[in-house]
């Protein structure tokens, strides 16, 4: 062990550890840890740890972790973790994770997770995930997830998903999903879905779907649908469909429908169809 150094500062009146850092270097015959350093600040009156960070480098004989660093802030009175982030790089013999960082904020009084984001890259031998990031906000008192978005890229050996992102906003008191949108791209070996996006708004008290729209593109091997979009507006109290419109384009191998669009307005109390129009091209 080449170097091991650290520093303490404390007092009985203010029991606090200001700095505690050191560095290790072991033998090259066994696993090597180049740097291991961190800093503590705490007190018995205000139990808090401000910073805790360090870096690891192991031997090439076993999986390598290049950087691992994070920061904590918590208290027993207000149990909260403000930041926790680190980066990992493992061996090429096993799946590789290049970057993994995220941030937490929570409390036992107000259990809430503000941000949680990270990025993965696995081995090329197995499925590869390039980016996976999202943000969560929830609470047990007000169960709500504001944003949840991420992006995937898998291996070319199996269907590939380029982008998948969505946003949620719901609550147990007012169960409502404001936005849910994403985009898929699968493999060319199987039918491909180019874009699929839509938006939902509903509630158990007022069951209503305001907008539901999306677009499909399938493979040329099977019938292709270029555009399919529609909008719904209904309620159990006033069952009514305001607008429903879409456009189809199928494959040239089978009959093609160029344009098909129409609009509905009806109600169970006043059964009425205001407009119904469309155009066909076979």
Contact 24, 6 (CB under 8 A): no
Residue 33 and residue 65: Cα distance in Å, rounded? Answer: 10
In whole angstroms, how far apart are CA 180 and each of 51, 147, 148, 213? Answer: 37, 10, 9, 11
In whole angstroms, how far apart are CA 205 and each of 48, 171, 208, 234, 235? Answer: 44, 12, 9, 13, 10
How many Cβ atoms sit within 10 Å of the Cβ of residue 147? 15
Going residue by residue through the chain (282 aa), what tens digit of pLDDT does each one get? 444 444 444 444 444 444 444 445 554 554 444 444 445 555 444 444 444 444 455 544 444 444 444 445 544 444 444 444 444 554 444 444 444 444 454 444 444 444 444 455 544 444 444 444 444 444 444 444 444 444 455 444 444 444 444 444 444 444 444 444 444 544 444 444 444 444 444 444 444 444 444 445 544 444 444 444 444 444 444 444 444 444 554 444 544 444 444 444 444 454 444 444 444 444
How many Cβ atoms sit within 10 Å of the Cβ of residue 192? 20
Residue 6 and residue 39: Cα distance in Å, rounded? Answer: 10
Q: Is 226 left (phi over 0), alpha (psi -120 to 50) or beta?
A: alpha
């Amino acid at each position: 062990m080449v170097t091991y150094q650290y520093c303490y500062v404390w007092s009985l009146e203010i029991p606090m550890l200001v700095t505690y850092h050191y560095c290790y270097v072991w033998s090259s015959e066994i696993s090597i840890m180049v740097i291991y350093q961190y800093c503590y600040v705490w007190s018995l009156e205000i139990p808090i740890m401000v910073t805790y960070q360090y870096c690891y480098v192991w031997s090439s004989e076993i999986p390598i972790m290049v950087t691992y660093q994070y920061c904590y802030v918590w208290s027993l009175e207000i149990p909260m973790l403000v930041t926790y982030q680190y980066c990992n790089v493992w061996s090429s013999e096993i799946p590789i994770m290049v970057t993994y960082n995220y941030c937490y904020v929570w409390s036992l009084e107000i259990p809430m997770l503000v941000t949680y984001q990270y990025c993965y890259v696995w081995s090329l031998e197995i499925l590869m995930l390039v980016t996976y990031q999202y943000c969560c906000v929830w609470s047990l008192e007000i169960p709500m997830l504001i944003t949840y978005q991420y992006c995937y890229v898998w291996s070319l050996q199996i269907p590939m998903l380029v982008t998948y992102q969505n946003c949620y906003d719901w609550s147990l008191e007012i169960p409502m999903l404001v936005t849910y949108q994403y985009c898929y791209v699968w493999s060319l070996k199987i039918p491909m879905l180019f874009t699929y996006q839509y938006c939902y708004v509903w509630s158990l008290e007022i069951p209503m779907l305001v907008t539901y729209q999306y677009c499909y593109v399938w493979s040329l091997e099977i019938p292709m649908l270029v555009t399919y979009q529609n909008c719904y507006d209904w309620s159990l109290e006033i069952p009514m469909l305001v607008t429903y419109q879409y456009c189809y384009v199928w494959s040239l191998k089978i009959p093609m429908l160029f344009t098909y669009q129409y609009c509905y307005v009806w109600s169970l109390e006043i059964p009425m169809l205001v407009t119904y129009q469309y155009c066909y091209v076979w």
